[in-house]
């Protein structure tokens, strides 16, 4: 691949569209390879929720374990294909997601997907910060033997201390810059694997000869009574939906990668292969809990509590903490930091955007137990997440089919009338129309009970619909311009 010219004439850029964090990153300043991309995905799935999801998929659907494993691997392949498409433009041009989307939505219109993605990220950043703090609470309580008694807003004194420590720890990491974030992800991903494999070995050893028959019962489900193709599709859709938050803004990470080949290798290792191996570990441990405790446990914290050994509790707490902070940085911090910087580049840098994210998320975390988890806010945020889906289709169709894989980097930072991405006062109205029409369908899959059976496929269908409508409108516009 020939490297396009990434140099900007800064005298011609609009100050309202430019700062150093949004500018194209020269190839000489990139130091990410396949290992870093692999660890982005490792941290994305190796959270408490990721493990519970993988383990529960083997039990929730009346499918054989082989079918569930095949569905999980297929989902990994689908997500790999999706992110290879969204990651490539940022590898070529060194730009983050909100700048890349200016090519299709317009230099001002890009703030619409950026703001919606930022809202989703900030909310879940707060929620995951709370969950990461529960691991620290587990560790401190195990060491001192008490949680401090009654607290406030549903949190004990130890829980409050843990929450503040985790919140400050995350700020310290991102304030040190993207290099420190990279080092944390590169450390956290392998560590979680080491501990999960160790836990699998311990469970296997304790379960002894009874383990393989327990695995056999999971792998020999009949596939009748709600199983079959519908259940297989539901597993695929659930796993694709799990990764959807990172799919659309994957360019926020690939702008640091040296070559597209390294990005694709990292995606191959980090998605189908990584997801398959992690799911296998989850399967063995789940079968082991069935033997050891008489029931299949899918939550790692429940497993640790049953074992009731202080060294294991401390090790597990550190691991859960690292895993949850890892996914928080990948899925919920870096995207809003760039998205907020795109809104007001003159005053909001990547670091300032991250600080705003952390400060707003503080209140989400603090009120999670007593207020937010009780009033259905997650449903609202999931709806916003579904609304974002059409932007994926619009971005991909625009870059590959409309723009022919070529962008004018200078024009991405210009609002002068007549420049490539100014469109109508900075907005591509055809893209906005395509988004609005497709978003109605995406939202319906979340809020209309009759359509909720589509599960994770609502996201992919919304993305496909957005891309198809956008392509039709842009082709029609081009034909009208040609006719005149």
Q: What is the pLDDT of residue 103?
A: 97
pLDDT tens-digit map of 273-286? 999 998 888 888 88
**328 part of a folded domain:** yes
Q: What tokens appear for 58 in the block?
A: 């083997």
Q: What is the pLDDT of residue 153?
A: 82
Tabulate helix, strand, coil % of the chain (nearest 5).
75, 0, 25
Distance from C-alpha of 284 to C-alpha of 69, rounded to nearest angstrom: 12
The percentage of the chain sitting over the pLDDT mark of 90, rounded to a whole number, equals 45
Q: What is the pLDDT of residue 40?
A: 92
* 286 class by beta-carbon count within 10 Å (0-12 exposed, 13-18 middle, 19+ buried): buried
More confident residue, 196 or 391: 391
More confident residue, 310 or 236: 236
**10 part of a folded domain:** no
Residue 327 CA to its chain's centroid (Å): 7
What's the mean pLDDT in 435-461?
81
pLDDT tens-digit map of 73-118? 999 999 999 999 999 999 999 999 999 999 999 999 999 999 999 9
Q: Confidence band (pLDDT; 50, 70, 90) for 1?
A: very low
Q: Confidence band (pLDDT; 50, 70, 90) for 455?
A: low
Report the number of distinct structural domains present in the chain: 1
Say if residue 251's pLDDT is above 90: yes
Q: What is the pLDDT of residue 456?
A: 60
Residue 311 CA to its chain's centroid (Å): 31
How is 52-106 classified by DSSP, letter by letter?
HHHHHHHHHSSS-HHHHHHHHHHHHHHHHHHHHHHHHHHHHH---HHHHTHHHH-
**221 part of a folded domain:** yes
**20 part of a folded domain:** no
**266 part of a folded domain:** yes
Q: What is the pLDDT of residue 224?
A: 44
Q: What is the pLDDT of residue 149?
A: 77
Q: What is the pLDDT of residue 378?
A: 61
Helix (H) or strand (E) holding 281: helix 274-293
Q: Considering the chain, what is the average pLDDT of its residues?
A: 87
Distance from C-alpha of 231 to C-alpha of 209, rounded to nearest angstrom: 31
Domain, as residue range, for 98: 32-479
Residue tagged 């640790």 (tokens): 304
**377 part of a folded domain:** yes
Distance from C-alpha of 122 to C-alpha of 134, rounded to nearest angstrom: 19
**173 part of a folded domain:** yes
Say if residue 250's pLDDT is above 90: yes
**17 part of a folded domain:** no
Residue tagged 């870059």 (tokens): 399
Strand partners, 263: none
What's the mean pLDDT in 150-161?
86
CATH number at residue 175: 1.10.4160.10
Say if residue 49's pLDDT is above 50: yes
Contact indicator for 390, 434 with CB cutoff of 8 Å: yes
Q: What is the pLDDT of residue 193?
A: 83
What is the 3-state secondary structure of 123-151?
A: HHHHHHHHHHHHHHHHHHHHHHCCCCCCC
Contact indicator for 472, 398 with CB cutoff of 8 Å: no
What's the mean pLDDT in 321-340?
89
């Amino acid at each position: 691949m020939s490297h396009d010219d990434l140099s900007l004439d800064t005298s011609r850029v609009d100050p309202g569209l430019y700062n150093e964090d949004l500018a194209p990153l020269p190839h000489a300043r990139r130091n990410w390879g396949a290992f870093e991309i692999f660890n982005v995905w490792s941290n994305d799935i190796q959270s408490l929720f990721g493990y519970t999801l993988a383990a529960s998929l083997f039990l929730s659907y009346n499918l054989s374990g082989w079918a569930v494993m095949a569905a999980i691997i297929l989902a990994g392949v689908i997500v790999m294909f999706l992110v290879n498409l969204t990651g490539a433009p940022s590898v070529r041009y060194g730009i983050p997601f909100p700048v890349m989307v200016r090519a299709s939505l317009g230099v001002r219109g890009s703030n619409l997907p950026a703001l919606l993605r930022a809202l989703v990220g900030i909310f879940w950043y707060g929620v995951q910060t709370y969950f990461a703090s529960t691991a620290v609470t587990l560790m401190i309580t195990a060491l001192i033997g008490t949680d401090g008694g009654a607290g406030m807003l549903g949190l004990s004194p130890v829980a409050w201390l843990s929450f503040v420590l985790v919140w400050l720890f995350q700020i310290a990491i991102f304030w040190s810059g993207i290099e420190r974030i990279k080092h944390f992800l590169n450390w956290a991903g392998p560590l979680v694997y080491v501990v999960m494999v160790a836990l699998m070995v311990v469970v296997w050893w304790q379960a002894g000869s009874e383990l393989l028959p327990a695995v056999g019962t999971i792998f020999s489900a009949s596939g009748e009574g709600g199983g079959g193709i519908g259940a297989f599709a539901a597993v695929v859709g659930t796993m694709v939906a799990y990764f959807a938050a990172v799919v659309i803004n994957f360019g926020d990470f690939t702008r640091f990668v040296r070559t597209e080949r390294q990005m694709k290798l990292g995606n191959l290792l980090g998605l189908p292969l990584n997801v398959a191996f992690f799911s296998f570990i989850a399967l063995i441990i789940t079968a082991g809990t069935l033997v050891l405790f008489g029931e299949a446990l899918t939550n790692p914290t429940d497993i640790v509590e049953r074992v009731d050994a202080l060294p294991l509790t401390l090790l597990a707490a550190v691991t859960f903490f690292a895993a949850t902070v890892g996914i928080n940085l990948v899925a919920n911090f870096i995207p809003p930091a760039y998205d907020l910087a795109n809104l007001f580049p003159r005053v909001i840098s990547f670091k300032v955007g991250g600080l705003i994210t952390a400060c707003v998320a503080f209140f989400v975390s603090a009120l999670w137990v007593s207020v937010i988890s009780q009033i259905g806010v997650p449903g609202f945020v999931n709806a916003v997440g579904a609304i974002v889906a059409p932007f994926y289709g619009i971005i991909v169709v625009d870059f590959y089919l409309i723009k022919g894989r070529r962008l004018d980097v200078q024009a991405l930072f210009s609002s002068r009338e007549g420049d490539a991405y100014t469109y109508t006062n900075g907005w591509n109205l055809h893209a906005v129309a395509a988004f609005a029409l497709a978003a109605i369908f995406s939202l319906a899959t979340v809020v209309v009970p009759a359509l909720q059976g589509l599960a994770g496929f609502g996201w992919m269908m919304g993305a496909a619909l957005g891309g198809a409508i956008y392509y039709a409108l842009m082709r029609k516009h081009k034909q009208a311009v040609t006719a005149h």
